[in-house]
């Protein structure tokens, strides 16, 4: 049982991030884990985060969606959590996967404002609607997770609209995210890079080794970019590397997104050997698995253009403007390169496509993979409809 819970928590770990390009909603972890009415279980449970993420996945009709979690520091020693859960949250904090704050205040709304993300919460923010007008003006920017048949569902809240809807990055957010930032605290998990911390225990995805392209948005205090964790003024580390968000669609369903930055190319294939490679094998049938090479296509971002190079044995094809008409498909032979147009997608094998995330919606009846798939039924105890 303990072992299985650990596996669920590991799965949930893959769904929390502070990367502005990948997070799809903001939430306050301390609030979510106390939604006792969702499963009638313990006063606090980290598994509820997984249930809310599943609900978001169903709403967005996309697998592997990630959320930006703001975490009150008191949670790291919350006696209502199991020691295992506390240990897991501490690990997320150390790796910069969540944002830990002494006093979260209105940071959740600030992140939502800067990044244009929807907020998953039951709080009504009566005093903050003047400062964040989108709370009431944009339906779906705030939705409340509540119990539903078969897991949480979202209901209309504050500005109406029951489905979570993203807005645009605020002008301030766009300005802040054009630069990379340095925290003077050594080993800062959010704005590290200059510090001496991290070291052997720093995860590649976060901590002191995180890519500047994946840095969270700074907090603005009196107009000054500040580390939300340490309250320290951030140094300007120069322009942030440019990025494009690409999505993998297999069998009509968006399975995951990934960030391509100017810093390094990304290889996608059945099981790429390169660091940071995008593995598709788990979504492929036998025929697709035979056709698609371990490393099949390489993406590079150069002066704002996405260059795709076939590095496979069997080749691939480009579908201009996402056309599914066979006559339009442009073959891409092994070792051939091409600029990926704004609406183009590359097809590694029929039904296995990669393109810009906003141009690649889910196009088939959707059955999301649950992040809770490993959860023992005892831990779920979902109310019967």
Q: Is 227 in the site for Zn ion (CB under 5 A)?
A: yes
Look at the block and give the residue holding tokens 């009196």.
222
Q: Is 183 in the site for Zn ion (CB under 5 A)?
A: yes
DSSP reduced 3-state for 174:
helix
Nearer to Zn ion, 11 or 71 (CB): 71
Distance CA 83, CA 356 (A): 41
CA distances from 148 to 4, 65, 154, 376 (A): 24, 20, 9, 19
Contact string (CB under 5 A) for Zn ion, positions 194-223, x = contact: ------------------------------
Nearer to Zn ion, 187 or 334 (CB): 187
CB of 184 to Zn ion, least distance (A): 8
Distance CA 160, CA 143 (A): 8
Return the DSSP state at 102. S
CB of 227 to Zn ion, least distance (A): 3
Contact string (CB under 5 A) for Zn ion, positions 265-304, x = contact: ----------------------------------------
| CA atoms within 13 A of residue 317's CA, in its CB half-sphere | 18
Q: Which of 229, 249, 257, 270 binds Zn ion (CB under 5 A)?
A: 229
Q: Which of 73, 90, 179, 230 binds Zn ion (CB under 5 A)?
A: 230
Closest CA to 161 of 59, 62, 66, 68: 59
Nearer to Zn ion, 47 or 188 (CB): 188
**DSSP codes of every residue in 336-380:** -EEE--TT-EEEEETTEEEEEGGG----S---PPPTTTT--HHHH
Applying CB under 5 A, what is the total number of residues that bind Zn ion? 6
CB of 3 to Zn ion, least distance (A): 35
Residue span binding Zn ion (CB under 5 A) among the ranges 87-95, 126-134, 150-158, 230-238:
230-238
CB of 188 to Zn ion, least distance (A): 3
Q: Is 259 in the site for Zn ion (CB under 5 A)?
A: no
Do 292 and 348 contact (CB within 8 A), yes or no?
A: yes
- Residues in contact with Zn ion by CB under 5 A are 183, 185, 188, 227, 229-230
């Amino acid at each position: 049982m303990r072992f299985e819970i650990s596996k669920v928590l590991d799965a949930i770990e893959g769904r929390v991030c502070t990367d502005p390009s990948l997070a799809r909603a903001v939430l306050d972890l301390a609030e979510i884990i106390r939604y006792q009415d969702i499963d009638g279980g313990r006063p606090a449970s980290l598994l509820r985060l997984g249930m809310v993420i599943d609900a978001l996945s169903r709403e967005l009709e996309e697998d592997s969606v990630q959320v930006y979690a703001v975490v009150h520091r008191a949670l790291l020693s919350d006696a209502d959590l199991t020691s295992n859960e506390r240990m897991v949250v501490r690990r997320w904090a150390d790796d910069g996967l969540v944002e830990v704050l002494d006093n979260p205040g209105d940071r959740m709304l600030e992140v939502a404002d800067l990044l244009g993300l929807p907020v998953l919460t039951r709080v009504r923010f009566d005093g903050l609607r003047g400062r964040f007008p989108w709370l009431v003006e944009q339906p779906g920017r705030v939705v409340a997770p509540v119990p539903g048949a078969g897991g949480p569902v979202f209901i209309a809240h504050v500005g109406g609209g029951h489905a979570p809807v993203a807005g645009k990055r605020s002008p301030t957010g766009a300005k802040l995210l054009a630069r990379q930032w340095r925290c003077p605290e050594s080993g800062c998990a959010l704005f590290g890079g200059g510090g001496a911390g991290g070291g052997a225990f720093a995860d590649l995805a976060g901590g002191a080794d995180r890519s500047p392209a994946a840095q969270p948005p700074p907090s603005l205090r009196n107009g000054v970019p500040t580390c939300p964790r340490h309250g320290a003024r951030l140094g300007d580390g120069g322009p942030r590397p440019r990025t494009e968000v690409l999505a993998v669609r297999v069998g009509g369903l968006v399975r995951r997104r990934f960030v391509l930055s100017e810093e390094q190319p990304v290889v996608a294939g059945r099981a790429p050997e390169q660091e940071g490679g995008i593995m598709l094998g788990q979504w492929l049938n036998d025929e697709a698995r035979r056709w698609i090479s371990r490393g099949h296509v390489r993406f590079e971002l150069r002066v704002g253009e996405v260059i795709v190079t076939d590095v496979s044995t069997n080749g691939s094809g480009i579908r201009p403007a996402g056309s599914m008409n066979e006559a339009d498909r442009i073959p891409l032979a092994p070792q051939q390169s091409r600029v990926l147009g704004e609406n183009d997608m590359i097809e590694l094998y029929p039904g296995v496509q990669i393109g810009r995330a906003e141009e690649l919606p889910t196009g088939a009846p959707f059955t999301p993979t649950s992040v809770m798939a490993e959860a023992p039924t005892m831990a779920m105890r979902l109310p019967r409809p």
